[in-house]
Chain A
């Protein structure tokens, strides 16, 4: 690990000033950052410890019926907040499908959104990676890439974003609150992460030093609570990143779908909102034919970036399966294996 200066500001303005300095990185739980520093993948000259900043560890009900989640709220605390989980069950299910209990006890909301890709070539400092070293090339192209992106990738980067949490957040129209030298602003979750294009080193819309302070879910997102699921395929039963995942949420009215929300995980360098699939389901009867058409629409632009063509059909099937589960209704109790297609039949899966 490289040497670094350590500062622990007491206020958000102090943190932003310290975070704007060249080579600075914000430290929350460090579950991803410390790991990357141990591998020499990230070498920040200054860590700005934001864990003591006031007011960022709360889950607040907003007067309009929405909810505001502070960036320091731990993943486990959000997932097990009974009121939050009742209103936004797909978000809780996604949280509990990620990492291990130890990591969920530490990792924060902000850190989850800002975690880096798990592409092995990004992690291996002996490999070429445009994200780590702009202009160096991409050894994932033509390498071991069966888990890499099938949507939105470029010749410069075929990595995928590993967050489960971000997937239902994108589907439900969440908004990221950020604060920087220029003041506060809102960034829609859907636009927060950038596709790689020619600048894969630029991962989010944040400006240097800008600090994520909270995520808001709008009131209408709770309207999907009765029919909302997150479904994730992993290479082992638990404690693994998604090969493919999907968040599906339906607002039902008189037996037909009034509104659908769908986003995919594990397919791109950002949570992939499938608006064409959502449009295909509006007004439809929830049946296998409609779900398959939605899945076709969701993956219409997909193309393999290597040995991963199987992920395209897998993603279609996961969309169909997630929609089928959502239509059957959100279970009263989370399955033993949250978000797993291998969970028991007794839990609607």
Chain B
């Protein structure tokens, strides 16, 4: 049984030999690669704190076996800043005070980035709340989170329109 895989993590290709096929993507990131931004909340796919993008799509890293994701492209919260600038979703979370303790925040931000890429929610708070329902916040910062996600989405669509022009 070969336990060698290759992953692209935040843009860098990594050859990894797993010592056990039971290792989840979340444990690999946190325990082996020192990328502790993705959090282990429930570890059962219920809270969303472990959300990362796999091949551009948001998923729960706690339920993904690393061995099964050979060749995948992973984006974590550590990889979303560009040129030393916060990602627009990160900036919006700060501007809207969209957190209290901050434990769920990396998962919230990765989920929001994935949601904006999916492009189904539009500028509709009800659709954003539904699309973000896989991310729990026990501090109850949902009002700020919804506002931040809507705001970031607006600024990103404005920026892409400027680029196109």
Q: Mark A14-46, 1 if CB is under 8 A from B, else 0.
A: 000000000000010111001100110000000
Tell me which residues across on chain A come within 8 A of B57, comparing CB atoms: 76, 105-106
A102 to B115, CA, bound (A): 9
Tell me which residues across on chain B come within 8 A of A105, comparing CB atoms: 57-59, 114
* Interface membership of B65, Cβ < 8 A: yes
* Interface membership of B32, Cβ < 8 A: no
Contact between chains at A4 and B21 (CB < 8 Å): yes
* Interface membership of B83, Cβ < 8 A: no
Which residue of A100, A239, A337 has the most chain B CB atoms within 10 A of its CB atom? A100
Contact between chains at B60 and A102 (CB < 8 Å): yes
Contact between chains at B59 and A106 (CB < 8 Å): yes
* Interface membership of B41, Cβ < 8 A: no
Knowing A5-B1, A344-B126, say if A35 contacts B63 (CB, 8 Å): yes
Contact between chains at A336 and B118 (CB < 8 Å): no
Contact between chains at B130 and A102 (CB < 8 Å): no
Among B8-16, B42-50, B152-160, the stretch that binds chain A is B42-50
Tell me which residues across on chain A come within 8 A of B64, comparing CB atoms: 29-30, 34, 106
Contact between chains at A239 and B43 (CB < 8 Å): no
Knowing A4-B21, A239-B133, A336-B127, say if A103 contacts B60 (CB, 8 Å): yes
| Chain A residues with a Cβ closer than 8 Å to the other chain, count | 34
The answer, among A39, A76, A336, for a CB contact under 8 Å with B126, is: A336
A8 to B63, CA, bound (A): 18
Knowing A5-B1, A105-B59, A106-B63, say if A27 contacts B134 (CB, 8 Å): no
Contact between chains at B24 and A101 (CB < 8 Å): no
A238 to B43, CA, bound (A): 20
Contact between chains at A31 and B134 (CB < 8 Å): no
Q: Total A-B pairs in contact (CB under 8 Å)? A: 94
* Interface membership of B124, Cβ < 8 A: yes
* Interface membership of B22, Cβ < 8 A: yes
Contact between chains at B130 and A336 (CB < 8 Å): yes
Which residue of B64, B118, B124, B130 has the most chain A CB atoms within 10 A of its CB atom? B130
Knowing A30-B64, A102-B60, A106-B60, say if A3 contacts B22 (CB, 8 Å): yes
Which residue of A47, A239, A337 has the most chain B CB atoms within 10 A of its CB atom? A239
Residue of A with least CB distance to B70: A8
Tell me which residues across on chain B come within 8 A of A4, comparing CB atoms: 21-22
Residue of B with least CB distance to A343: B126
Q: Mark B110-136, 1 if CB is under 8 A from A, else 0.
A: 010011001010001011011111110
A38 to B42, CA, bound (A): 11
- A87-144 contacts to B, CB under 8 A, are 99-103, 105-106
| Chain B residues with a Cβ closer than 8 Å to the other chain, count | 36
* Interface membership of A1, Cβ < 8 A: yes
Residue of B with least CB distance to A97: B130
Contact between chains at B114 and A101 (CB < 8 Å): yes
Residue of B with least CB distance to A3: B22
Contact between chains at B63 and A80 (CB < 8 Å): no
- A225-243 contacts to B, CB under 8 A, are 237-239
Contact between chains at B126 and A337 (CB < 8 Å): yes
A224 to B24, CA, bound (A): 42
* Interface membership of A6, Cβ < 8 A: yes
* Interface membership of B4, Cβ < 8 A: no
Tell me which residues across on chain A come within 8 A of B90, comparing CB atoms: none
Knowing A4-B22, A101-B111, A238-B130, say if A35 contacts B59 (CB, 8 Å): no
Contact between chains at B68 and A101 (CB < 8 Å): no
Tell me which residues across on chain A come within 8 A of B20, comparing CB atoms: 3
The answer, among A1, A8, A31, A49, for a CB contact under 8 Å with B22, is: A1
* Interface membership of A7, Cβ < 8 A: yes
Contact between chains at B127 and A100 (CB < 8 Å): no
A18 to B51, CA, bound (A): 32
A38 to B65, CA, bound (A): 12
Contact between chains at B134 and A102 (CB < 8 Å): yes
Tell me which residues across on chain B come within 8 A of A1, comparing CB atoms: 22
Smallest beta-carbon distance A349→chain B, Å: 12
The answer, among B48, B63, B124, for a CB contact under 8 Å with A34, is: B63
Smallest beta-carbon distance B133→chain A, Å: 4
* Interface membership of A51, Cβ < 8 A: yes
18 contacts between A and B (CB under 8 A): A3-B22, A7-B1, A30-B63, A30-B68, A31-B63, A35-B44, A47-B65, A49-B68, A76-B118, A101-B111, A101-B134, A102-B45, A102-B114, A103-B134, A105-B57, A105-B58, A239-B134, A336-B124
In the complex, given contacts A8-B68, A38-B43, A105-B57, what are 13 additional A-B residue pairs having Cβ atoms less than 8 angstroms apart?
Answer: A4-B21, A29-B64, A30-B63, A30-B68, A31-B45, A49-B67, A100-B135, A102-B48, A102-B134, A105-B58, A105-B59, A238-B129, A344-B126
